[in-house]
Amino acid sequence: MTVIYRQMILNDISLFTSQPKAKFYDELFMELDLDAVPDRRCEKGRQGYSRHAMIRAIIVMKCECFSYITELVDYLNNNLLIAYYCGFNIVKKLPGYHAFERFIKNFDNTLLKKLMASQVKKLYDMGIVDASFIAIDSTPIAANTTQNNPKSFSKNKFDPQNHPKNDLDCKLGVHTASNQHNEKNYEFFWGYKSHVVVDCISGLPLCELTTTAEVADQSVALDLLENTNETIPIQECTLIADKGYDVKKIYNTVKNIYDGDCVIPLNSRNQRKPKTLPVGNIICEAGFAMHKDGKDSSGSRCRQKYCCPFKNSKDDSACTCAHKNYFNGKKNRGCTKYVTIPDDYRLSIDRSCISFKKIYAMRTEIERYNARFKKTGQERMWVRSFNAVQNLSSIAHIALLAIALAAVITQKPHLRLSLKASLRSA
C-alpha cells in the first residue's frame, strides 16, 4: 500500500512545479497565437519535435532569464507541468541540448518576425500600443568568444585582422558609454546589434532587427520605420532618437513620407562654433567683424560666406594677426569663413525649447526596454552564428510582448512591463 501511495505522488507532476509559475505560463501560452508558424515541416520523413513547443520552451528560457540551453533542459525535466504547457509529450523523452541548438540555428527568422508583427497588431487593436511617440535605438550583443572577455590580456584581441575563429559571422563594433557630445568613454566588442522601435507610451517594442556590430544605427533606421508602418500605421508620429540618428535623410523621410516630427539632438561632428556678434557676423582671429560676401550653394546645402573686412586694402599692417591668407598675393586678400543657413528641416528645429527637451526625455523608455531585453540573457550569446543570434533576439522580443499581452487580458496591466513581478503574482 505504501509503494502504491508513493507511486501516486511521483505521478502527480503538479507536486514538483510551482503552481503560481505554472499558472503564469498557462496564461502566457493561452494568449500566444502561433498560427503564423507552421507546427511541422512539409517535407517527408521524421518531423522531430513540434515547432510550437520548441518556441514556447525558448520563451520559457527567456522568461526565466537563462543564459544557456543546459539550464532550460534541466528546468523542463524538473518541471514537467511547464513542459506539458509548452506542448511536449512528457511521457516521452524531452528534447535535449542538440535538439534546441539545431532548432535555434536553422529556424527561419522571417516566421518569427511575422509572429511578432501579429502580436503588435493585436496589442494595437486593443489600444495598448500606438505610434504617437516612438523611439529607436540599438543595444550591443557580445559574441561568444574569448576576445570579448575583459580579463583577456591579449593586445590584438580587437584587431580587425584577428577575427574570432569560433564565430565567423560576428563583426567588430564600438559601443559608447553615453550620448554626450564630449564623451570619450567607449569600448570595442565582437558581436552583433539589436535594433528596436519602441512605443514610448506603453514601453513595448513595435519592430526589431538584428545586424552585425559594424552596421551603423542610422543605416537601418528607415528600414525599421518601413517595417513598423507595415504592421501598424505611423503617420503623424514623433520619432525620438539620440544623436547617432542625426542624418538628413531620416528627417526628410519622417517629415515628407510619414508627416511626422523628429526629436533628435544635433550632432556637431567635431565642428567648432565660431565667435559671432549679436547680429550674426563672424569675428575673425584678429578680432574684427567679418563682412557678408554672398552665398554658396554648392552641394546640397546653402552657406553664408563671410570675408575679411580688409580684403581690398593695400595696407599690409591692417591685419593685426598677420594671417597667412592676408598675404596670398591675390586681389581679394584675407580669410573667408562659411556658416550653413538653416534652410532644411533638420536645422530648423529649435532644440533649446522646453517642448523639445520634454519630448526627448521620453527616450528613456527605450533604455528601460533595452535593460529588460538584456536581462533575458541577450547581453552575451552562447550561440555562434548570425541566424541563431537573430532567432534568439526575436524570441526575446516575442516573450516580452507575450507577457504584456497576457497581463492585459488577465486584467493585470500594471504587470505588463515587469517580468519578475509577473512570475511572482501569477
* pLDDT digit string, tens, across residues 188-243: 899 999 999 999 999 999 999 999 999 999 999 999 999 999 999 999 999 999 99
CA-wise closest residue to 221 among 175, 180, 264: 264
* Per-residue confidence band for 10, with pLDDT thresholds at 50, 70 and 90: very low
Cα(59)–Cα(86) distance, integer angstroms: 9
Q: What residue segments make up the domains of the chain, in order of their start? A: 269-344
Nine-digit cell string for 45: 520523413
Residue, of 422 and 166, whose pLDDT is higher: 166
Q: What is the largest CA-CA distance in the chain?
A: 119
Higher pLDDT, 48 or 45: 48
Cβ atoms 267, 250 nearer than 8 A: no
Give CA–CA dist 348/386, Å, rounded: 40
Please give the share of the chain, as a percent, with pLDDT higher than 90. Answer: 47
Mean pLDDT across 161-170: 90
pLDDT of the residue at 274? 74
pLDDT in tens, 67-121: 889 999 999 999 998 999 999 999 899 999 999 999 999 999 999 999 999 999 9
More confident residue, 297 or 65: 65
Q: What is the pLDDT of residue 204?
A: 94
Across 163-167, 336-340, 353-357, the highest mean pLDDT is recorded for 353-357
**Looking at the predicted structure, is the pLDDT value of residue 265 above 90?**
yes
C-alpha cell of residue 253? 523621410
Residue 5 has pLDDT above 50, yes or no: no
pTM of the model: 0.82
d(CA 128, CA 106): 33
Confidence (pLDDT) at 389: 95
Terminal CA-CA length for the chain: 36
Pick from 290, 278, 274: nearest CA to 325: 290
Which of the four pLDDT bands, split at 50, 70 and 90, describes residue 369? very high
In the three-class reduction of DSSP (H, G, I as helix; E, B as strand; rest coil), residue 318 is classed as coil
For residues 41 and 30, the model is more confident at 30
Give residue 300's pLDDT band: very low, low, confident or very high (50, 70, 90). Answer: low
Q: Is 72 helix (H, G, I), strand (E, B) or coil?
A: helix
Q: Is the dihedral of CA 155, 160, 162, 165 positive or negative?
A: positive
pLDDT band at 6 (very low <50, low <70, confident <90, very high): very low
Asked whether 250 and 271 are in contact (CB, 8 A), the reply is: no
